[in-house]
Every structure is written in structure tokens, then in C-alpha cells.
Structure 1
């Protein structure tokens, strides 16, 4: 939960609902708020009860019972009810930020909301002050609830002792922190940057703050995976790009060190150049070369800017990204998987040459390793299906993302807009259908379509379809992709299956918790049908 909530930043509010706990932040006081306009319900209608009327009556009764019990039991209760072969389980919980009266109002509202989910076999109400869920499947720990009930008589004294101990502990920590946190933080930071100790690459925080106009929004260039990038002008007149972390949590700091270490160890004409960093201020900053044309997405997805990129310029960008990835995968001193190849992470210099940036999510691994097992991170629409399902990371995940990027450059369309729960699937299926029908002109951006270049563009489309094969072993390695792009020989450019089959659906059956590992924008609301996660949302 602690790692999920910061991903909602810089939205002004965010909430996470889990079975048994809740986290929320806002830019206003919400401690006495039971309901608000952001309250929502989540109904699962994929499977309905075969006895809808009887089922609705059971749901109404059990949520009424569990709501009443929660008001008497410190705001939390579970219950179940059965009739013949029908069983319904329910959980009600009020947050400690509201009183008993508000708890009653909140749960009454939530009960009406979830009852309307019937005959669906599961429903949840996500309110500002409470949470209510019913399901035909048992979704709580029976042993834990039994122990909780048997220990009710001790609850008051346990809580009182814990509160007193907590007050003493926090007081001690605050006293210690006041005198030690600065020196310890700086020492830890310097140790983390042992491979980046060249003083010539270190900037003063005060200098960068002044260079960006105190991080003025007017100087904002864009927003990366875990930070905002600003244009700055140094005292010597140099223009730079300064990346500022969203939050200085351990997760973000680890990504900061990771990006500094990896970016400082690689050198290639198609990789962004790291000029240095700042670690002496209240937040950590990265300093890069400034590229006046900003990122690729500002061109290909803008009807006016897209006209500035003809076919030859777009092909040069595609080839440049391929060469940069090939270097990371095979030619650098350490093998690196980027993990977040997308249009907004490709910068363009004054000659519109591609520069890969944003190494915060990148991973390096030893020569004898075939893959890394890691949590899912990246951007929906660009993620390879096997990476989403198994979390096993190889270079082929970057190859897949690169294939999607090629198609965005050729079509001028975003891969992950308005296409439901599986971004990338509809986009790739449309490309595949045009390719099979030999109607490649139906997908090419009007700004670059020309009969003279049709065969060249078709050749690159074929390369992209090879990159996005559903089976990782069918995707060529990046050095081979560079060769294919430079060649006009298309005899082996024959994808053997559609680029995005229903492989993902097959793998996801029975793996209902996969979705909550996806990295998604907080502007998107989602809810996972599992006992461990009900949803995360931001505004």
C-alpha cells in the first residue's frame, strides 16, 4: 500500500481500498467526511446468480446485518448468510476518521449501492468514510476473525498500551531525528552514489533551483515515470533539463540511484547524456542535456507537429532507437533492459535524432542470467504479455515495446487510448488485419504516406510485427532488428501468428491478482477482483 499511494502523485488526492485497510491523501481535511462525489461502486456481472430474486434478498439481509454489527464493533464486522445452496459473505468497515453516526450513514448508503449490483455475484462500495463488500466466495481469513472475536475483552487495554508506547516511541524518534536525520541521509546518499563520485558531475541544489526559476511550471518540460522535468539555465548560460523526484520515499530514491548509476555507465549517440546530479538539498535532482525538440510524442501525436516528420526522419528515429537498445542489450559493459520504451521517453535533438531517456525503471543483470524475476512496471499498451503474466524480464520485453513504438511512429496513433482493459490488443490487431489484407496504406499516417515509400514502410511494419510476436522466442534480438531495418531483404520478415493473440487471457485465468501489479496512471480507475485488492484511484 505504501508503494502504491505515491504513484497517484501529483494528483491532489488518492485512495486505496483493500479488504481490511484503507489509505488516502488529499489537499484538504477529510477526517469527518463519510461520503463525497468520488464515492463509487464496483459490480462484477460476469457471473450472475441463477436465482436473482432470492439472491437479492440474501444480499440485502447480510449487508444490513454486517452494517449494524460494524457500528457496534468499533466500525468493522464480517458475516455470512445461506439459504439452500446460496451462500453470501459480507464485510463492512468504517474508517477511524468518522464517528459512529457518520459510520451509520455511510454504511446505509454503501448498502443501497451494493444491493443494486445484484444479481451479480460480487459487489463493493468504495465510500469516503467506509467500505462494504459482498461475495459468493469467502474472502476473509476465518481464523483471524475468530481470534479477533475471542479477544474483544482485551482490546481496550491493548490499544491503550499501544497508544502510550507509540507516543513515547514517536517522541524519542522525533528528538533523535532532529539531530541526526540530515547527516545520516547525506551519508546514505553518498554511499548510494559511490560509482558517481566525480565532483565535476555534482551540482548544488541551490544552483539548480535558481536555474529552473524555483521549479516554475512555465519551465516544465514534461513528466517522467517518477518525476517532473524542468528546463534550466545555468550561471554559465548552458541550458539543461532537471529531473525532480515526485516524493523522496525509499522506492523513488532507489530509482534515482539506479538511473544515476546506469546512465553514467553507458555512452551512445542515441542515449541521453547525464551531466550530473544534486544530492545536497531536500530532494534529489538529475541533470541532463537539454533537447529543444523535447519528446517524440509531442510530434507524432500532434496533427501540426507531425507534418515536420516525413518518412525519412521517422525512419531515422526508428533506427536510432533500435541502435540505442541494441547497445544497451549487447554492447555496453553491463546488460541493461530499459523496461519503459515509449514515445515520451524518446527525446529529439536539434537535428531530430533520437535519444533514449528515463532509466529509472531500467534493470541490469549478469551475463549468465537468462531473465530477472521482478514486479511489473512500465506503461500499459507497451508491456509484453509474458512480462505481465509471469514477471520474468528479458530483453524481449524491450523488443516488444519497441515494436509497438514503431507502429505508433508509422500510424501517428497512440497504442493505449480508449481500448478498454487490454491496451495494445486492439491497436495491434488492427495493424495485423491491414497487413494480412495487404492494405498497409490504411494504417499509415497521412503525413508520410507516399506510393514511392510504400514498400519501405511495409518493410518496417513487418519488422514491427516480428517484434510484437506473442511468443518471445519469435522476436528477433535488437542487433538483428538493426540489421533488418537497414536491409531491404524481406524474405524472412513473415510473422507466423498475429502479434497479440488471446494468450494473455489464457494465462490470466486463475491469476486474478496480476492486474494490481500493473503500473497505471492515477487518472485511470481500476478495481481488481481478488480478496487482496479492491481498487486504487486518484484525482
Structure 2
């Protein structure tokens, strides 16, 4: 299996595995209508028999639930066209392999004279994107029945002729990627306490996915897929690559897909995908949060281009750790807590999946680190390698707030 990277300074994005067993596969544009009609028939969303019977209606952790039936609204294309002002360019939040994501406004029916409504994010399928068709189905399959405070809420969908759209709650603060690597006056550095809050929320979301009898492997955990609401609560988005596996088995694929730099080594080399493969991706994001640097950046010196390989020797040494801490923190973080998070990152990045902690254990460690309070120390060493902050972002995830970010159409390969 080959590994395909994008051009200089671009973070490779992801592609959906067309062998997904989530729903009836769609192979050509000519079969789109009949295939989707079959999978949507009866209950408005396709049903995977294994997922449908697993933990139906059971609570899985605080606020988490796999719903016995999907609770999605069916929107008309006319409604969403009006909500986005005919999908006008100035409503675009981001763009990926699926298509463009637009900000919209839905009016709510009310007997009051004063109109009410809500802000939404509308993901519109590019009619030429075969990847998008399967991603559309996967999103409906998973998010249609998953309910958790740390997962982005899918409100509904539209399926009219060749038009396929998804409607999500709008996330006011955009993506974690934007806050870590964005540029411009509108992007402010995240303080330590907010970084931990975001990490804990994202960890809880992953822990929920891993808690059912039939495990849901997210497969694409990265900073751009962690979205933030107005209070910086983290929610996982983009389930187009999600897979299922029992607690004792892995998912095996002949095509390795994900985002280069975040994919676990066992998945890249063998195609075997475990829940602990998600834990590796979480470890990569932990390192990005600590350092403020991208997982991959060809503008850095050769030895530092792969962030994980470079910083591993620093993570276990509290004194060396200061050399790689994000300079934008200005030393304002509890050193003991930072050391604990760094050690956690090291265990998450273990070469063998069995040596990594569970996401439940990750949550507990992060919550303990969050309770540590020390007097902030004046920084003495600053990180000199900050060129990666001045790069335009290349989003795949939906619902991102547009904040002085490049939205160039992505033409790079989407596989690993």
C-alpha cells in the first residue's frame, strides 16, 4: 500500500474507504438515486444491522447515548437554498473532498410576530464527488443515532434528486486547528486552561465512541476535526471515515486512509485498525497542543519536520520539555501538569497498540492534570521554530468559522 503526500507545506487530507460496510455502496453517479432510495427507505436513514442492535437506547457515559431511532429532520432543498442565500460565496465556511460548507439561517415557525431562527452549517455534496456520496451516508449512519455533548450534532439532511446535503449545529469558535495554527489579529493564543478543557472534551468524545459493545473507530482524529462552540467546548466532527469493530477484533482494510502524520503505525503498515489506533491520533494532537506546531511541516529543519519523531525524546524529561513548549503560552502553565500531559502523549504514541492507554484512562489523566495548580513561572526558553504558524490552513472538516484563513480548493491526494 502506498503513502501519498501532498505538496510542500500542505497537510494531506482524508478520503473515505469505498469498501465501507456502513450502508449499501454507491459506485457510479447513475446508481446514486436507486442506492440511496434503498438505504433511506423506511426509517429515513440507512441501517447497519450490527450497529442498529448494539446498545440500542442505552446510556454510555455522562450524556452519551446510542438512540434506538434516528432523530433527524428532513429539509427541502428550497429551505437550504434560502437559508444560505442560494449558497452564496460569502456564506462559505470551508471546503473539502465532500464539497463546500455554508453558514445558514433557518427561520423557525412561530405564532409570534417577531421571527425566530437559528444559525446552521450546511454541507453540500459536490455532484462529481463519489467520495462525498459515501461520506454523506456514513455521516447519517453514525451521527443520526449518536448523541453526546462532545460530538457535533447532526440536525438533518436533504436528499432531492442529485442534491445531497447535511445540516449541522453551527460551531461559533471554529476548529482547534485554526486556534493553534491560524494567523491574523482575530486568532488569539489559547491559554493552558483552555487547552486542557478542549483536550478533555475531545477525549470524552472518543471515549464514548469506544464504550459500546460494537466499538466505533473514529479513524481521523486531528485538530481540524475538533470543533469549538462559543464556550470552547470541544466536539468531534466528520464521521466519514468511521468504522466499527468488536472489542476483541480489529477492522481490516486493504486501503489505508486517514491523514498522514496522525495515522497509527500498525494501521499504515498492516491495514489493521483498532480503537487504540484512535489513541495514537490523540497522542499526536496532544503533542501539537503542547508545542503549538503542526504534526508535519516541511518548512522546519529536516530533523524536525515530523513532529512526533522529533519531540519524543523531550516528552519524558521535564527539563527538556521546556525547550518544546509553545512559546505563545509565555511560560504560563503548571510545569507539573505539563509534564503529566507530555508523559500521557508519550504513552499514547507507543509503537504497539497494546501499550497505549484506553480513552477512559486518558480522560482520567487529563482531568487530574487539570486539577493541578501552580504559580506560573517566567519563561526562560522560547521555541524558535514558529514558521508553521504562518501557513494557510487547509480544512477538511465542516462547520469551521472563517477567520483570515485561506480557503483554496484542495487538489492534493486524499489518501495516505
Structure 1-normalised TM-score? 0.54
Q: 1:214 to 1:315 in 2, by over 3 A?
A: same
- In structure 2, how many angstroms separate the alpha carbons of the residues matched to 1:480 and 1:424? 30
Unaligned 5+ residue runs, structure 2?
1-5, 8-29, 48-67, 109-116, 371-409
- How far 1:247 sits from its partner (Å)? 4.0
Q: Map of 1:48-447 to 2, 5 A cutoff?
A: 184=34, 187-188=37-38, 190-191=40-41, 193-195=45-47, 201-224=73-96, 226-236=98-108, 237-247=117-127, 250-303=130-183, 304=185, 307-330=188-211, 332=212, 334-367=214-247, 369-374=248-253, 375-418=255-298, 426-436=306-316, 438-447=319-328
Contact 2:84–2:105 (8 Å) recurs in 1: yes
Q: 1:350 to 1:488 in 2, by over 3 A?
A: closer
- How far 1:410 sits from its partner (Å)? 1.9
- In structure 2, how many angstroms separate the alpha carbons of the residues matched to 1:224 and 1:373? 26
Q: 1:340 to 1:464 in 2, by over 3 A?
A: same
Q: SS state of the match for residue 279, structure 1?
A: strand
Contact 1:240–1:289 (8 Å) recurs in 2: yes
Q: Which has the higher contact order (CA 8 A, sep 6+)?
A: 2
Root mean square deviation, CA, Å: 3.3
Q: SS state of the match for residue 210, structure 2?
A: helix
- How far 1:307 sits from its partner (Å)? 3.3
Q: SS state of the match for residue 133, structure 2?
A: helix
- How far 1:305 sits from its partner (Å)? 5.3
Q: Deviations over 1:219-242 (max 9, x none)?
A: 111234533221111133211011
Q: SS state of the match for residue 319, structure 1?
A: helix
Q: 1:424 to 1:398 in 2, by over 3 A?
A: farther
| Among 463, 466, 488, the residue aligned to 2:347 | 466
| Among 323, 336, 346, the residue aligned to 1:455 | 336
Contact 1:415–1:424 (8 Å) recurs in 2: no
Q: Deviations over 1:306-343 (max 9, x none)?
A: 5342100000001111111000011x464211111111
Contact 1:225–1:360 (8 Å) recurs in 2: no
- How far 1:287 sits from its partner (Å)? 0.5
Q: SS state of the match for residue 120, structure 2?
A: strand
- In structure 2, how many angstroms separate the alpha carbons of the residues matched to 1:339 and 1:288? 20
- How far 1:358 sits from its partner (Å)? 0.1
- In structure 2, how many angstroms separate the alpha carbons of the residues matched to 1:373 and 1:406? 26
- In structure 2, how many angstroms separate the alpha carbons of the residues matched to 1:370 and 1:186? 30
Q: 1:276 to 1:333 in 2, by over 3 A?
A: farther
- In structure 2, how many angstroms separate the alpha carbons of the residues matched to 1:346 and 1:315? 13
| Among 396, 409, 412, the residue aligned to 1:523 | 412
Q: SS state of the match for residue 447, structure 1?
A: helix
- How far 1:419 sits from its partner (Å)? 7.1
Contact 2:105–2:120 (8 Å) recurs in 1: yes
- How far 1:268 sits from its partner (Å)? 0.9
Q: 1:197 to 1:487 in 2, by over 3 A?
A: closer
Tell me the equivalent position of 1:502: none
Q: 1:363 to 1:182 in 2, by over 3 A?
A: closer
Q: SS state of the match for residue 322, structure 2?
A: helix
More helix by share: 1
Q: 1:439 to 1:449 in 2, by over 3 A?
A: farther
Q: Which has the larger radius of gyration?
A: 1
- In structure 2, how many angstroms separate the alpha carbons of the residues matched to 1:212 and 1:282? 18
Unaligned 5+ residue runs, structure 1?
1-6, 9-176, 490-520, 529-539
- In structure 2, how many angstroms separate the alpha carbons of the residues matched to 1:365 and 1:273? 23
- In structure 1, how many angstroms separate the alpha carbons of the residues matched to 2:186 and 2:33? 48
**How many equivalent pairs are there?**
317
- In structure 2, how many angstroms separate the alpha carbons of the residues matched to 1:354 and 1:339? 17
- How far 1:206 sits from its partner (Å)? 1.6
- In structure 2, how many angstroms separate the alpha carbons of the residues matched to 1:259 and 1:412? 30
Q: SS state of the match for residue 380, structure 1?
A: coil
- In structure 1, how many angstroms separate the alpha carbons of the residues matched to 2:344 and 2:107? 46
